[in-house]
Structure 1
Amino acid sequence: MLSSAVVAQETQILRVGMSGGYFPFTFVKKDVLQGFEVDVMNAVAVEAGLDIEFKTMSFSGLVGALDSGRIDTIANQITITPEREAKFAFTEPYVYDGAQVVVRKGNDEIAGIDDLRGRIVAVNLGSNFEQLLRELAFADEVEIKTYESNIAQDTALGRVDAFVMDRVSSAQLIQESPLPLMLAGKPFSEIRNALPFRNDEAGIAQRDRINAALITLRKNGTLAEISEKWFGTDITSPE
């Protein structure tokens, strides 16, 4: 009996999971799924000669859907970590970023990561930022709160002292949102985001096919063009 992943591959359909609630990477506007991730995956599908099927669900359910074979990969800024690399087959990174502290505008007490001692800091549930904070030398002095959403709103309202998110999303959020927020210092950790596939024969074959498409799209400038459209800069290159 063929696995769901093999069936999907034979029918030339790539099932891509995403939250649909992570602006500007993946979000719904006027009932249309759009964003950086959507544009990248549509370009990948064309380059690889695949049809694409987007499946939206809560961020916390994406890994379980990949494990169970309900989707083939996740396009939701999945950060490469040693733990994830041991479990999944990743493509090459297609986004290079850094962890960023964000505070309420006018907060001159927090100028970066070193000022989070004794503070309440919010992170998105399931993101890599909680682990980054727990690896700090003074982690026991930081109170971490995990959220499904509203970390920016609670920071602006003073319910938490700061939140940590990737710098690209933080800058975009500050630019688009009416909330009084600002970046605090420079990014404190390099982040490489890629597409995870199941680490079995079918998953690795899919990974290799998608990876080849990503490499071509980087070389011909398509990834950079998509990035410029959404961010005004190229976040797809390590340089």
Structure 2
Amino acid sequence: MKKFTWLAIAVVAMLALALPGCSNGGTSNTTSAGPLKIRVATDATWAPFEYVNETTKKIEGFDIDLLNAIAAKVNLEIEYVNVGFDPLLAGMAQGTYDAAISSITITPERAAQMMFSDPYFTAGQMITVKLNNTTITGQASLSGKKIGAQLGTTGEVLAQDIPNATVRSYDEIGLAFQDLLNGQIDAVICDTPIANNYVKKNSTALKTVGSALSTEDYGIAVAKGKTDLLNKINQGLSQIKSDGTIDQLVTKWLAG
């Protein structure tokens, strides 16, 4: 009987260790959930919205601060992936990434391949030319000219609609501005904040002309099927709109 008793106690002890939450070493079902980890694509060549800091080698900008602020509100952990804009759109359509933030204009064509958050910024397409250019004053005077735009952007779409224009598409918008400065092309079409940023940095060489060619809303792209993630992002976005965070980011990154 004594032998059986000790054997029974040993079996009970082993079972207790095997059951979750029955010992200090087990995992409790009542522990709080950790952050939801997501992979977010961005084309870090569109300062001041997203770019690589040459000193720290980290991706930063308006969009990055905005999504980090959302993540803090709704318990997300973000891994940023730096990828070209055209591959970014293809990756989102294929579900390669959970989400993307990269000055992405919400369009019906894109919305058919991915989901979008509520809009967080309104921009447009702007024409940039060399400071001494007097022949290009707006969209009508782009006919027959050489126009640069980034591959896969709404700026490229608009450029391709210009009659008799020669459109050069670039993997990075910075390469288009480099060719503009070197006289290889006559104009660049891109988002207003990006155009303004390049003009600010090259005020003795570049200028914008005419009015914005469009009005466009930026949204955070989310892979189809990830409705819970989209809801979280919209929840966080609503909170940072209400508490003034977006206004602070505009002042930090876009003022002046």
Classify the TM-score, shorter chain.
0.7 to 0.9
Of Structure 1 and Structure 2, the greater strand share is in 1
Alignment of 1:60-71 (within 5 A): 60-71=86-97
State the TM-score, normalizing by the size of structure 2.
Answer: 0.80
Matched-pair contact (CA < 8 Å) for 2:130–2:206: yes
CA distance in 2, matches of 1:153, 1:72: 33
1:228 aligns with 2:244: no
CA distance in 2, matches of 1:232, 1:140: 35
Select which of 173, 178, 187 maps to 1:153: 178
Larger radius of gyration: 2
Higher RCO, 1 vs 2 (CA within 8 Å, ≥6 residues apart): 1
Residues 121-151 of structure 1, C-alpha deviations (whole Å, 9 max, x = no match): 110112111212334xxx3322111012311
2:143 — aligned with what? 117
1:6 — aligned with what? none
CA distance in 1, matches of 2:160, 2:44: 28
1:24 aligns with 2:41: no
Matched-pair contact (CA < 8 Å) for 1:153–1:179: no
CA deviation after TM superposition for structure 1 residue 11, in Å? 5.9
> What amino acid is aligned across from residue 188 of structure 2 in structure 1?
F
> What amino acid is aligned across from residue 112 of structure 1 in structure 2?
G
> What amino acid is aligned across from residue 181 of structure 2 in structure 1?
A
Helix, strand or coil: the match of 2:112?
helix
CA deviation after TM superposition for structure 1 residue 10, in Å? 8.6
1:56 aligns with 2:79: no
Helix, strand or coil: the match of 1:15?
strand
Matched-pair contact (CA < 8 Å) for 2:95–2:224: no
The share of aligned pairs that are identical, in percent, is 26
Helix, strand or coil: the match of 1:111?
coil
Matched-pair contact (CA < 8 Å) for 1:20–1:27: yes
Helix, strand or coil: the match of 1:140?
coil
1:181 aligns with 2:206: yes
- Kindly tell me the number of residue pairs found equivalent between the two proteins: 220
Residues 35-67 of structure 1, C-alpha deviations (whole Å, 9 max, x = no match): 111101110100111111111122222123323
Select which of 215, 218, 235 maps to 2:241: 218
2:164 — aligned with what? 141
CA distance in 2, matches of 1:58, 1:10: 31
Matched-pair contact (CA < 8 Å) for 1:156–1:179: no
> What amino acid is aligned across from residue 26 of structure 1 in structure 2?
E
State the TM-score, normalizing by the size of structure 1.
Answer: 0.86
CA deviation after TM superposition for structure 1 residue 179, in Å? 6.6
CA distance in 2, matches of 1:13, 1:111: 48
Residues 70-116 of structure 1, C-alpha deviations (whole Å, 9 max, x = no match): 32111111111111112211111111011000000121111111110
CA deviation after TM superposition for structure 1 residue 187, in Å? 0.4
Helix, strand or coil: the match of 2:179?
helix
Matched-pair contact (CA < 8 Å) for 1:18–1:62: yes
Gap runs ≥5 in structure 2: 1-32
Helix, strand or coil: the match of 2:163?
helix
1:12 aligns with 2:47: no
CA distance in 1, matches of 2:39, 2:91: 11
1:3 — aligned with what? none
Gap runs ≥5 in structure 1: 1-8, 234-239
